[in-house]
Structure 1
Amino acid sequence: MSSGNQVLWLALIIGNSRWHWGAFESDDSGLAPRGDGSEPALRGERWLGSWHTAPLSEAQVQTLQRHHFAPSAWSQLDPPITLSPALLKGAAVWPDSPELWLASVVRAPVIWMADYAALYQVILAEVPLNNTYPTLGVDRALALVGAGDVWGWPVLVIDCGTALTFTAGVDQRLIGGAILPGLRSQFRALHAHTDQLPALELDLSQWPQRWATDTAGAIASGILHTQLAGICDFIAAWRADWPAGAVVLTGGDGAAIYGAIAKQNPGLAQGINHDPDLGFWGLRVCRRQGR
């Protein structure tokens, strides 16, 4: 069970190519008012950490449910998954059935977890964001709300994942955004739809030279430099409209993109934040308002 009023709960965001897990510990005994007069926060909220997995099978999900998603259950999966010893360090004793706050862009895993008693599925209509449209991805909505909660409004979220998405909002109201293939998706598509171009592994440890002298280098240059130019253009346009607005990079390639912007355009990079956990902050807002 939990220690005192400390409640350990889990967050899960299921994307197209990866599953993102997080853990929080909250004191649910009461609400602490915020100094700025906004929505009160749960007392003693503490972020315990995150981990990321490839998509799990139904059998793996059932194993985790039987063991209440406890850290020891992950090593029993086939194949096993090892969680970092530092994860959840100092947390309360693992509860019998921790709350699992779930948002998914894929339907099947939600069905697999439907029988879990402490499941709280968050759909788009339950995200506290105004001016949305029916096909807006719940992951984008959560990231925007999470960014606004942590970094303040107005805010532009740039998610550098399987898809590269731009999502902008003011005062918990969606302004709009854009979607295009992410870096890895572009590499795969170029190989899949041509006869002669090779399959390449994306290496962001060193940004390629612009004027390449071989095919592999030309592909890397074309995709990476034009992607970076597009991102910088969106940031410049955002700042023209909202000079005091925040800019937050997230997603699997967010850190590398941030590093490239800082190196190639230091002036533009000033004021850009990198936060890989925006979706979890969004789920935290949903839980806070739902209790």
Structure 2
Amino acid sequence: MSSGHQTLWLALIIGNSRWHWGAFEGDRWLGSWHTTHLSEAQVQTLQRHHFAPATWPQIDPLVAPPPALINGAATWPDSPELWMASVVETPVAWLADYPALHRVTLAEVPLHNTYATLGVDRALALVGAGDRWGWPVLVIDCGTALTFTAGVDQRLIGGAILPGLRSQLRALHAHTDQLPALDLDLNQWPQRWATDTAGAIASGILHTQLAGIRDFIAAWRADWPSGTVVLTGGDGVAIYQAITKQTPGLDQWINLDPDLGFWGLRACQQQGLKSLKPL
């Protein structure tokens, strides 16, 4: 990578649980990294140093941009473009003074037939999936919320939302007197017929979530036999491994892609939308 190349730009998707960062050189993907929710002071530090790779250890020693970005970053460009979408409002103001910021809202995502309260993260993931995997496409985002978002020819068909795995576990603990809080280990999928309370909670939540996902996939395949399915989100890998193990042959219908939102931001950036101006 030519580190001073003017086409280097950054992508940021601020979610409910984490901040997701990505880097591109033009349309070439350099990689992603993730942080917990940052403070205003941390954001200001990053801005002062133009988000340069050497700055990230000051924020969190365990967080570093991908090697493709670091290895070519001897001379970092001044104020690389930052294309950002957020489902959380407070951090948006912290970035408002960055001179090369492009904030992407639902109105700027190249997706038709949307509705006012559709999350920009869902819209970006759908557009990214269509761009990367082709239309028609069903996106299953396994994160804080489990969402199903379907589209054809850059047009939203519709979808569904329910609590994600960890959200269900937290809710069950918070709203009952004696059910324990559980740490979720998706590397050890629980047996269906549990003989203790913790195991029963894990079995109920995990197996019924898999059943729900299979049901939506079956409905999608019935309506759109030529359509594809893409899993994404923080629990996407574990869900993909579990559901394809339980249902032989399903892996032929499901793709795993953790970076759909970034492909959606890339689609916006490539369009050079006239309505988007640096804030």
Q: TM-score, normalised by structure 1?
A: 0.90
Name the aligned partner's letter for residue 22 of structure 1: G
Structure 1 residues 3, 256: CA separation in 2 closer, same or farther (over 3 Å shift)? closer
Who is 2:29 aligned against? 47
Structure 1 residues 155, 204: CA separation in 2 closer, same or farther (over 3 Å shift)? same
Task: Map 1:87-166 onto structure 2 (within 5 A).
Answer: 87-91=68-72, 93-166=75-148
Name the aligned partner's letter for residue 241 of structure 1: D
Who is 1:65 aligned against? 47
Structure 1 residues 235, 127: CA separation in 2 closer, same or farther (over 3 Å shift)? same
Instruction: Please state if 1:86 is matched with 2:67.
Output: yes
Task: Map 1:1-291 onto structure 2 (within 5 A).
Answer: 7-26=7-26, 45-77=27-59, 79-83=60-64, 86-91=67-72, 93-290=75-272
Cα RMSD for the two superposed structures: 1.5
Structure 1 residues 3, 268: CA separation in 2 closer, same or farther (over 3 Å shift)? closer
| Residue 46 of structure 1: how far off its partner (Å) | 1.4
Name the aligned partner's letter for residue 25 of structure 1: E
| Residue 268 of structure 1: how far off its partner (Å) | 2.5
Return the alpha-carbon distance in structure 1 between the equivalents of residues 140 and 15 of structure 2. Answer: 16
1:88 is paired with a residue whose SS is: helix
CA contact (8 A) 2:35 2:63 kept: no
Structure 1 residues 212, 118: CA separation in 2 closer, same or farther (over 3 Å shift)? same
Return the alpha-carbon distance in structure 2 between the equivalents of residues 153 and 207 of structure 1. Answer: 32
Name the aligned partner's letter for residue 198 of structure 2: A
Name the aligned partner's letter for residue 64 of structure 2: L
Stretches of 4+ moved more than 6 A in 1? Answer: none
| Residue 269 of structure 1: how far off its partner (Å) | 2.7
| Residue 3 of structure 1: how far off its partner (Å) | 5.6
| Residue 256 of structure 1: how far off its partner (Å) | 0.5
The runs of 5 or more residues in structure 1 that have no matched partner are 27-44
Residue identity (%): 82
| Residue 261 of structure 1: how far off its partner (Å) | 1.1
| Residue 4 of structure 1: how far off its partner (Å) | 7.5
Return the alpha-carbon distance in structure 2 between the equivalents of residues 188 and 206 of structure 1. Answer: 19
CA contact (8 A) 2:137 2:230 kept: yes
| Residue 231 of structure 1: how far off its partner (Å) | 0.2
Return the alpha-carbon distance in structure 2 between the equivalents of residues 120 and 84 of structure 1. Answer: 20
1:68 is paired with a residue whose SS is: coil
Who is 1:40 aligned against? none
- Cα deviations by residue, 1:217-270 (Å, 9 ceiling, x for unpaired): 000000000000000000000000000101000000001111011110012232
CA contact (8 A) 1:25 1:91 kept: no
CA contact (8 A) 1:168 1:176 kept: yes
| Residue 90 of structure 1: how far off its partner (Å) | 4.7
| Residue 87 of structure 1: how far off its partner (Å) | 4.5
| Residue 82 of structure 1: how far off its partner (Å) | 3.2
1:266 is paired with a residue whose SS is: coil
| Residue 5 of structure 1: how far off its partner (Å) | 5.4
The runs of 5 or more residues in structure 2 that have no matched partner are 274-279
1:125 is paired with a residue whose SS is: helix
Structure 1 residues 68, 240: CA separation in 2 closer, same or farther (over 3 Å shift)? same
Name the aligned partner's letter for residue 262 of structure 1: T
CA contact (8 A) 2:231 2:257 kept: yes
